[in-house]
Structures are given as structure tokens and as C-alpha cells.
Chains A and B, each alone.
Chain A
């Protein structure tokens, strides 16, 4: 088996502000194999987004960030060599955001942004090549008039269209790993569902691995192969989708599942009665143990 494209071992992350140190990740381990779709699920503040930020190498260079453990992305040690990681951002590792419209610069045409994405990692691409590639990529995500979309500004397109553009940008350089941080949560539910289906289709086609970060279990169920459940900076349960949904074992996972149908305002119980459960070791479903060779 080839090396996983994302390999996180015993990762601890803390932020220091003045003398106060707040630990937000308490030693998590997860991996994403090539071409695999893995979800990381938890409520806001559980540490799921910072995990993506770390995988992208965005936190390492900031002051007051304390990192311990291993983050390996596409074979690069992201904690020790953030510069090397910076060179692969945008082509070997890419990202899709919550709100596609605000993630696209409002004063540049889609075509200009696209050309810049194609030039990620310092590759030389002529304007004509960039236009042709971008048009083909937009056609692939079923945008009706690619040339016109490229000549438009982000605010002239709908949120759904922008999300398609974002998906096209994320996959045009054939990345090994795509980080999707709550993709499309800013869109309305039907459009979000459509674009997620499209994303699923596209990553399968491009054979990209995905780390899908979400708080929404029903979305994850459709999309992912494996699921990690994170709670307060600790992984609590890990299994294949069918295992986790068929037989949720951790009280937090059950609470998440119970809360799922209430789309808005449901919220999660604070679970004080289950508190001791979080000191338990991670529940790993059968066949989902960490591969022996990854343990370091």
C-alpha cells in the first residue's frame, strides 16, 4: 500500500496568547489514503477546521502556535518544512471553502483568478493556455457558457455557479489531496446538495483524496468512505460510514446522529453526564485500525 496522502500522528496544537496557552488539539491521529474520501465530523470549536489549516500549512508560520506531533502531507513534513508545503499548495494540495462567493476576489474576473490558480507553484502557463484549460475545466463541472463565466466577476454569478468554479479550480491541477472545509454551507440546501454531488463525481474522476470537514452527518453519509468523529480536540470514534451509522458506539456520535434531523436550531446537548466517556480511548471500528506501518 502506498503512503497516505495525509498522515497525522499524535498531533497536539496549542495557541499561546501572552502567558496563556490554550490547547485545542489533544493528540489526534488520522490518515487519508490516496483516492480515499474521509470525513472529519464535529461541532464548531471541536478543532476540525484547525486540522485542515495545519494540513495546508497555514498555521505553522504564525506566531503563538505550538505544534507537537507529525503532519505529513503528500510526503512533506508539514510541521518541519512549511516552505516545501507552500510550494505544493494549489496544485498537489487544494481546498474548497464554506462560501464560494466570498472566497473569490470581487475585483478580479473568474478568468484572472483561474489563470493564477493554474500558475500555482510557479509554473509557467501562457494566457491562451490558461484560458483554454480553464474553459475545459469549467465545462467539466457543467457550467453552461464557460467563456462567459471566465469573463464574469464572482458577484455576477450565483453561489452555486461560484461553487462549481471553485470545484473546477480545486481539481484542475489534479491534486493528490483536497481539503473541503464545510463546503457550501453558505449555500442553500438544494444547491449545496447538487454541488456536493458534483464534487463527489469530480474527485472520483480525478482520483483525488478528500478530507471532508463537516458538522453535518447526513452530508457525510452520502459522501465519505470513512469517518472520524472529533469532540473538544480529541477523536472519539472512527469507522467506515456503514459501521458508524449502523452502530454508533460513542455517546457523542449518538448525540450527533440524534441531532442530525433537526436542521436548524437543534443543537447538541452538552453531555455532562457522558463526560467520563471522553477519557476513554478512541473507539475504533473493526477493520479501521491504523495501519501498523504508520505507527511511529
Chain B
């Protein structure tokens, strides 16, 4: 078995355990919080009999541990229960809302990498000079302003005062959503050959993705900068210079690759955190995403939907970490090879 595959199976097993732990935690915490979900779902005008009937139907009168048993039984059948708010199966809700959030987060993640890394690299290369000061100022500004503030600022500037971008939503009115293949409008439009829809979806993604990504871009740039500066002090960079490697090559490859290792881990965490933090940006841009759904169901104490949403977000966290670990072990031969050594 290859070392990467070994790492993968090992981490998958741990992830599964973590997921079970998360499910227990959220299951119990959601139920301990005061408030009767049946009453909230039925509203103040419903009779006590109706509320009692709903509580009975949802097993809410059973001891919590028994309720968890029901939950596990349904879970292994791929059933996360039914939302009291949308009155649809939770899995169906998640399938409807998750792609919108993922699409947003992926574009934001791409922006983090495509803008944050080069910005940090330039800052490190010109450390102490004008480009560095500029990059640092921008990063600090980006990091300390919350994403929803960026959302409002961007909306105000680029959608209202100078309307180059759409204000909200995933598509313009009149544009029909492409047939669902992945749930990502951009991908689905491309796969069905609807270029117009693709550009419209992309156009709608730019502002919310930027708002969501800005603090991540700032943090990536700062991390990359400090990691690169640290790497520039290493003897192997002296060696590279003594042997006439071009500064460009050093910045792009020779110092960049070792510097990337610590940055990547944090980048992965940032990326996963965006999934959960997207709700404010989704609110501002009326984006029909999972984070927004999560907030709605929490406010309504919609138990099954809360547990389902939290578990999906936790699973995304775990998957992101897994992917980052695999990438790091590919870049860092020390990890890759020590795995191999451990086996033999």
C-alpha cells in the first residue's frame, strides 16, 4: 500500500470517529437548549393536543439516549430526519443548499490562493520596501474587517453606486438555472453547454466570494510572507544564491515550496472555516446556501435539521483537512518518506 493511501485510510478512520463524536455532541446540546421545537414549529395558535401529537410522532418524549438510538438507526439508512421548518427530509434540504455554499467557498478559496500567495511572496521578496508595506497594509485591512462588512461595502460600491456587479442572488432574473448535475450553477451550465448561464452565474459569484475571501487573502498573504522571510534566512537559500539561481526562481520555487508547508495547514483551516462563516455573507447577498439554512433552523430549534447541517459542515472540515494533509505530505518529502519507513 502506498504511503499516501496509508495516510488516507488512517485519517479516514479517525475522521469517522470524530464525526460520531460531533453527532453526539450536537445531538445532546441541541436538545438541552430550552424551547419546545414542536411548539415553535406549530406556532402560538396551535392547540396543546397538536403539540403533544407532534412531540409523540418525533419521539421527543423519549429519554435523550433513546432518541439518539432512533437517530443512529435512521442515520445508517442515510436518513437525517425531517425538517420541521421546511417539512422536507433534511438530506433533501442539504442537497439543495450545500452546492450553493460550496460553489461560493470554492471560488473564495481559489481567490485566497491566487491572490494571497503571490501577495505574500512579493511582500517577502521586497521585505522592508515599498511593495511589502503596501501588501502588509492591505492584508491587515483585509484581516481586520469582517466578511459581512466587506459584503456590504462591495455591494454599496460595485453594485449600487457603480453598478458593475449584480446585487444579490445566484442568477439574474429571467435566467433559468441549468439542469442539476452537480448543483454548481457554473459547472452545470458548462456541462450543458449554456455559456450565457455560466457567465451569469460567475458574475453573481464574484462579489460574495470576494467578500468571503478577503480576510483569508490577508491572512494567507501574511503567513506566506513570514514563512518566506524565515525560509530566506536558511543556508540553502545562501547556497542557491552562491550558485547563481535567479532571484525569480528562488522566490517562485526554491524558497516557495518549503515555505508553503506551514502556510498550507493554516490555509486549509481557513478554507474550512469559511464554510461555517459564510452565513453572514449569504445573508447579505441573499445567497441560498447551507450556512444561511443552518442559521434559520437553529433559530427555529429545528432539531433534525440542526444536527444534519452541523454534521455536514463537520464532514467538510474533516475532508478539507484530509486533502490538506495529503497535499502537505506530497510537498514535504520528510512526511511522505517517514510514512514509508514506518511501514517497512
Contact = CB atoms under 8 A, between A and B. Distances in A.
Given A94-B242, A155-B334, 12 more contacts: A87-B244, A90-B242, A97-B235, A97-B239, A103-B235, A103-B236, A103-B239, A104-B239, A105-B236, A108-B254, A117-B243, A179-B242
Interface in B225-244: 234-236, 238-244
19 contacts: A58-B238, A86-B244, A87-B244, A89-B244, A90-B242, A90-B244, A90-B245, A94-B243, A95-B242, A95-B243, A97-B239, A104-B239, A106-B236, A106-B258, A116-B245, A116-B254, A120-B245, A155-B334, A179-B242
Interface string A107-124: 110000000110011000
Contacts of A94: 242-243
Given A97-B235, A153-B333, A155-B334, A105 B243 contact: no
B332 interface: yes
Given A153-B333, A153-B337, A120 B257 contact: no
Residue with the highest number of chain B CB atoms closer than 10 Å, among A86, A106, A153:
A106
Interface in A217-267: none
Contacts of A88: 244
Contact of B258 (A86, A89, A105, A121): A105
A209 interface: no
A99 interface: yes
Contacts of B331: 107
Nearest to B331: A107
A102 B239 CA distance: 9
Contacts of B241: 58, 89
Interface of A: 56, 58, 86-91, 94-95, 97-99, 102-108, 116-117, 120-121, 153, 155-156, 169, 179
Contacts, number: 71
Contacts of A104: 236, 239
Given A97-B238, A102-B236, A103-B236, A89 B243 contact: yes
Contacts of B249: 116
Interface of B: 234-236, 238-245, 249, 254, 257-258, 261, 331-334, 337
Contact of B243 (A87, A107, A116): A116
A63 to B, nearest CB: 9
Contacts of B258: 105-107
A94 B242 CA distance: 7
A105 B254 contact: yes
Given A105-B258, A106-B258, A153-B333, A120 B243 contact: yes
A108 B253 CA distance: 10
A91 B244 contact: yes
Contact of B235 (A102, A120, A155, A179): A102
A116 B257 CA distance: 15
Contact of A107 (B239, B244, B257): B257
Contacts of B337: 153, 156
Contacts of A103: 235-236, 238-239
Nearest to A105: B236
A91 B254 CA distance: 19
Contacts of A102: 234-236
A121 B242 CA distance: 11
Contact of B244 (A106, A120, A179): A120
B228 to A, nearest CB: 14
B242 A89 contact: yes
Contacts of B240: 105, 116
Contacts of A117: 243
The list of the 3 closest CB pairs from A to B, nearest first, reads: A90-B244, A90-B243, A89-B244
Nearest to B231: A105
A12 to B, nearest CB: 23
Contacts of B261: 107
A212 to B, nearest CB: 16
Nearest to A87: B244
